[in-house]
Amino acid sequence: MSGSRPGRQLLRQEVVDGIKRYILENKLRPGDPLPTEPALCEALGASRSSVREAVKILNALDIVEVRHGHGTYVGRLSLSALVESLTFRGLLSPDDDFQVLSDLVDLRELFECGMAESIVGSLTAEQLDGLDAAVRRMGEIGAGDGKGFVESDRAFHALLVAPLGNALIGQLSVAFWDVYTIVAPHLDGFTHADEAATVEAHRRIAEAARAGDTAAFTAALREHYAPVRRRLTEARSRPA
């Protein structure tokens, strides 16, 4: 399959950079409208086809959002492209998959433990009640219902980092779960004891948060990640 001509690729990238520069120079925010296609062509000195190609690229990256029949707007600037890349990488190779998940476990533990004091100090009474409710659901569902158990765990951690008001951390937390849903079928050895330990670790996290005990909160977080780390280690050590 023949690739695009280098000159065409360069021009397309120049238009992509030009649109990004326009957003920055005009201090546009997510949801703000971009100029019409003809106006962009004039502002960037580019052809309509080049602008359309650039917009497609930026739309895939969530930098712009195309609303058909309405126009083009500044996108949410989320990590959706990163999540797609991580999950696709995992599909290509189980070994890569395990490494991606292992790296995300490290990141999540770094965020949650490193920000423990801020999290504990910022959780509202309503959020604390939400954590307790998520723990109850996990105990009722059990790991036998893999999807339901994972969704409850996911909701728990999303609520846990919500008080930080950090969209990047929230999106990376979601990325962990998106990758985990791909990796999970390849991970064996999640026992009833692991299930009980996971639920208990979440309960301790919630209790420590309610008590304002940062040290206990951090210790419970580390206990929570131990079974996942063990399963990843065992999966990576199995013969191909």
Looking at the fold, whether 54 and 95 belong to one and the same domain comes out as no
What pLDDT, on a 0 to 100 scale, did the predictor assign at position 31?
92
Half-sphere exposure of 27 (CA within 13 A, CB side): 0
Do the Cβ atoms of 226 and 198 come closer than 8 Å? no
What pLDDT, on a 0 to 100 scale, did the predictor assign at position 40?
93
| Residue, of 237 and 188, whose pLDDT is higher | 237
**Per the structure, how many domains does the chain have?**
2
Looking at the fold, whether 125 and 179 belong to one and the same domain comes out as yes
Query: How large is the average pLDDT for residues 208-231?
Result: 90
Looking at the fold, whether 92 and 64 belong to one and the same domain comes out as no
What CATH code is carried by the domain that includes residue 103?
1.20.120.530
> Of 44, 74, 104, which one is at a domain's C-terminal end?
74
Looking at the fold, whether 60 and 91 belong to one and the same domain comes out as no
For helices 125-141 and 192-211, the axis angle rounded to 10 degrees is 170
Looking at the fold, whether 107 and 137 belong to one and the same domain comes out as yes
Quick one: three-class SS letters along 138-177? HHHHCCCCHHHHHHHHHHHHHHHHHHHCCHHHHHHHHHHH
DSSP state of 61: T
Looking at the fold, whether 65 and 103 belong to one and the same domain comes out as no
Tell me the per-residue pLDDT of 141-182, one tens digit each, with 9 for 90 and over: 865 566 677 788 888 988 988 888 887 777 777 777 766 666
33 Ramachandran zone, left/alpha/beta (phi>0; psi -120 to 50): beta
Q: Which residue blocks in 6-124 are alpha helix, DSSP H? A: 6-25, 37-44, 48-60, 80-92, 94-114, 116-122
- Asked if residue 1 belongs to a domain, the reply is no
Q: Of 28-42, 82-96, 133-147, which one has max mean pLDDT? A: 28-42
> Of 21, 49, 74, which one is at a domain's C-terminal end?
74
Integer angstrom CA distances of residue 196 from 8, 109, 222, 229, 234: 58, 20, 15, 16, 20
Put simply, whether the predicted model's pTM sits higher than 0.85 gets the answer no
pLDDT score of 209 more than 60 = yes
Domain residues for 219? 80-237
What pLDDT, on a 0 to 100 scale, did the predictor assign at position 103?
78
Do the Cβ atoms of 204 and 221 come closer than 8 Å? no
Looking at the fold, whether 44 and 113 belong to one and the same domain comes out as no
- Asked if residue 28 belongs to a domain, the reply is yes
What pLDDT, on a 0 to 100 scale, did the predictor assign at position 144?
59
Looking at the fold, whether 59 and 119 belong to one and the same domain comes out as no
- Asked if residue 111 belongs to a domain, the reply is yes
What CATH code is carried by the domain that includes residue 11?
1.10.10.10
- Asked if residue 188 belongs to a domain, the reply is yes
- Could you give the CA distance from residue 52 to residue 16 in angstroms, rounded to a whole number? 10
Looking at the fold, whether 165 and 215 belong to one and the same domain comes out as yes
